[in-house]
Amino acid sequence: MEFVSPEGLRLDGRRPTEMRQLRAEIGNVAKADGSAVFEMGNTKVIAAVYGPREVQNKSQQMSDQALVRCEYSMANFSTGDRMRKPKGDRRSTEISLVIRQTMEACILTHLMPRSQIDIFVQVLQADGGTRSACINAATLALQDAGIPMRDIVTSCSAGYLNSTPLLDLNYVEDSAGGPDVTVGILPTLDKVTLLQMDAKLPTNTFEDVMQLAIEGCIAREYQAVGMPPGFMIDSHGKGIRSYNYVPDRYKVAKMQGLLNGNVYSNPTLVS
């Protein structure tokens, strides 16, 4: 099957290094300490954070750091074909673990000893790249909950089909059987915290694909709410090239709530 047309366009009309439209929203679950919805194209996930709070199961309490837990679940209607899987199948367990390890690495757990942080991620729609979407949503929710972190984590995936590295695979491209590299990075610290790949790939091609995924992550860091589609990344040269470049370093959290919340409750203004 042809995934990249001779004109260099993919099945959904994107260029190889173009990612899907991003959208994020904060504070959807009233009762949670922090929550966020993250969408990329048709993939849509919601994350809620509860805590830090008293450890529910005393035997798991740690005297020097916080306990981080994570559960990933998929809605029955999230996939194209309706499925009804029991909770806790192997795939969800594996993704829960990946999210937990990734988030645990960036949360400053030692600041909240003897407490527990729960991250719940619910996939509403799956169209490829759920892993990345979940990590991005969890990061936003943790920021919303005011939990101290070393750095934010951003995640993105890239693949290699028709001898072309492709950024941000959708479901059709993902199920084509090519390699799929999921990367999570800490953008300020410039460190990779998550790297997963299946299928085989020559080493030098892998370098290209991974580089693309990393730059996808960096670009995500530059994302804004409702940013117009057509955000482009140059896969070879360093830096970001786009016809809709967002000049300021905006992050979703900054865009919403937090900024406003500060302004209105500024102590110097209260008479």
- In the chain, which residue ranges form alpha helices assigned H by DSSP? 90-106, 130-144, 171-174, 203-221, 252-253, 259-264
Question: Shortest Cβ distance from residue 164 to another protein (Å)?
Answer: 27
Q: What are phi and psi of 18, to 5 degrees?
A: -105, 140
Q: What are the tokens at 77?
A: 């209607």
Give 15 or 150: the residue with its C-beta nearer to another protein.
150
Is there binding between residue 173 and another protein (CB under 8 A)?
no
Query: Of residues 77, 97, 175, 244, which one binds another protein by CB under 8 A?
Result: 77
Nearest to 225 by CA among 19, 38, 31, 3: 38
Query: Of residues 17, 102, 109, 122, which one binds another protein by CB under 8 A?
Result: 122
Is there binding between residue 71 and another protein (CB under 8 A)?
yes
Give 108 or 199: the residue with its C-beta nearer to another protein.
108
Question: Shortest Cβ distance from residue 204 to another protein (Å)?
Answer: 30
Is there binding between residue 186 and another protein (CB under 8 A)?
yes
Question: Shortest Cβ distance from residue 28 to another protein (Å)?
Answer: 7
Is there binding between residue 155 and another protein (CB under 8 A)?
no
Q: How many CB atoms lie within 10 A of CB 267?
A: 5
Give 57 or 203: the residue with its C-beta nearer to another protein.
57
Is there binding between residue 148 and another protein (CB under 8 A)?
yes
Q: What are the tokens at 189?
A: 């610290």
Question: Shortest Cβ distance from residue 5 to another protein (Å)?
Answer: 21
Q: Which of residues 206-245 bind another protein (CB under 8 A)?
A: none
Query: Of residues 14, 17, 19, 33, which one binds another protein by CB under 8 A?
Result: 33
Is there binding between residue 196 and another protein (CB under 8 A)?
no
Map tokens 């499925």 to a residue. Answer: 83
Strands in 154-161's sheet, in edge-to-edge order, are 164-167, 154-161, 180-186, 191-198
Strands in 43-54's sheet, in edge-to-edge order, are 22-26, 34-40, 43-54, 115-125, 67-74
Is there binding between residue 1 and another protein (CB under 8 A)?
no
The residue type at 47: A
Q: How far apart are CA 90 and CA 88, in angstroms?
A: 6
For 110-153, the DSSP string reads: GGSTTEEEEEEEEEEE-SS-HHHHHHHHHHHHHHHTT--BSS--
Nearest to 180 by CA among 194, 196, 163: 196
Stretch of residues binding another protein (CB under 8 A), selected from 11-19, 44-52, 204-212, 235-243: 44-52
Give 93 or 205: the residue with its C-beta nearer to another protein.
93
Is there binding between residue 261 and another protein (CB under 8 A)?
yes
Question: Shortest Cβ distance from residue 146 to another protein (Å)?
Answer: 3
Total residue count of the chain as it appears in this document: 271
Give 27 or 101: the residue with its C-beta nearer to another protein.
27
Question: Shortest Cβ distance from residue 162 to another protein (Å)?
Answer: 26
